[in-house]
Structure 1
Amino acid sequence: MAALMQTFRVQAAHRGGACSLMAALSCTRHFDIIGAVPRAGRLHGPAAAARHYSSDPKDDLRVRYLDGEDDGIVVVGINRAKAKNAISKNLVKMMFEAVEDIKKNNKVRSVIFCSLVPGIFCAGADLKERAKMQQSEVGPFVSKARALITELGNLPVPTIAAIDGAALGGGLEMALACDIRIASNTAKMGLVETKLAIIPGAGGTQRLPRVISVSLAKELIFAARVVDGTEACRLGLVSKSVEQNKSGDAAYLQALELAREINPQGPIAVRMAKLAINQGIEVDLSTGLAIEEACYAQLIPTKDRLEGLAAFKEKRRPHFKGE
């Protein structure tokens, strides 16, 4: 976790500059952060920076576009320590802006959603903020949070949720909208809304049964049950559970390694594969095969396809440009 925080340390000289952290979501190239994320084997060490939390709402979300060998990987870190990363109006606003920036950037290959707060991924809705809302405000806010999570699911590139702590309610719904979930064995996950006499309102009742079985999803939601990373992996809620490390970022490190596996593959092909899977899984097989054929057809005229063939013939590593 200390190494992960190092990734997001903003240079002091730029903290008061024209491009604030909030503005950085729309002017990423001027968002100066110390150092790129090193290879996994060098993420720990005495040089790792201490955590510094801020009450400034501009720090609620930190977005890092990695460079060097990791160019194309984006790390989105939630940073609301005092609120256990609960989903607030400001966080929803910032995440919408970050998602829009990612959608517009054709160089993005994959996105990791994680937490910069130890022991927590996201505790769900900010109930303290919710209690201060007028009743007329609650519905529109829930609708906007639901729309945000839908937008996460609609990102055209692979998305990975790195769950190193508790992901409850809306926090788990956020993770469910990602393509892949990786958790530490000590992470806690659950859709616990029935404890508050409500139901999951940001896709949980629909996405969880699609990820695990319908009966298991009903059991977890009806009982507001919380499971750890090991049990979540057994149920199929996460694709991998890894033993938590002393830094508290084991799931993040595993997610980063996965993103690095995805990075060298044909970027248009990966996007088309995601589209074919997401669209095809909702229809009958015959229609799904037609969707696959249409997605495949989009790849035939690409320069990347020709590069892949040439690299295979010449027995070298391909250099895909997303063209």
Structure 2
Amino acid sequence: MDFTLNSEQSMLRDSARRYLAQAGGASWQGYADMGWLGIAAPEDAGGLGGGMAELAILTEEMGRALAPGPFIDGAVLATRLVDRLAASDARGALLQEMIAGTRRLVPALYEPGIRYQLTPRTHAARVGAGYRLSGTKVLVMDGAAADGLLVTASLEGGVGLFLVDREQPGIDCRTYRTVDGRDCADFRLDLTIPADRLLSAKALDAVEDALDEARLCLCADMLGGMDSAIEMTAEYLKTRTQFGQKLASFQALQHSVADLFIDADSVRSSVLRAIPAFSRGRVERQKAVSACWVNTFETAKRVTGMAVHLHGAIGFTTEYRVGHYLRRAIVSERRFGDVEFHLERYMNG
């Protein structure tokens, strides 16, 4: 298979790299102005209809730039869920608002005490013309800044997905920052919502499918971070002097950087192998994504950790950029299932 970027993909990569370097990570509206919020949305809703290759290219550049904000959660995972599950009369309007950046939705999928299981303890019960939602959702990226939450809840006979307005009474929000400095929130839900806020009563398969897309995007994000950390380390060794010589002149350090490059390249191969799996069966896709996840995060922690080590004491400071790649890898590994979870999924798939 030819993995060479076509002209449009090359333009996407180059423009994203320039924009993120100049804008310092940019804003949600900036992403909308660039058209990035529409990459995962279908053309019939005003989106660009991009596939996994385009999403991986963009998220790789975001990882390189340490871009803040929940792009993967809001512009990939949430967009895919609305596209696949919302009723036809609501789908187009919701997607158009999300593409324009005027409505920010983030998924609320995970709960305390059940690790990465997607069958929720949050319960939805029919009450009159609506539903009563009760439960707790955790680790919602940028949840406090969102306009709405896409909440999974158990219904009789399945798992439903509900659209919940962020400011509606009955929502208790606790905000905090993760180790890598990103905003996160936990929610306690005890509220009644209209029946038309149920996007789907059979949402579990669509959630699994969309999560795999988000997982591969996060692997691409890690790849971009590794590449940047390696570039920073190589440049640092060329300028730092020790014992009267540039550190880059020591053969052992040259070999260390070469090993980092080889390790990162193995992750690139894993991402490229996983992209075509999205056009095949679910089992093959899940195995490809989990294999990519395990290789990516075992490698990312090793590569970014060694990059910090080779910088010496300055690499551990919060003011210096290279340490943030390590922190991002540590937090990201636990976003959509850790290495142990994906090893088990791969073995049992």
TM over 0.5: no
Greater gyration radius: 2
Hey, which of these two has a bigger chunk of helix by percent? 2
Hey, which of these two has a bigger chunk of strand by percent? 2
The normalised TM-score by structure 1 is: 0.29
The normalised TM-score by structure 2 is: 0.27
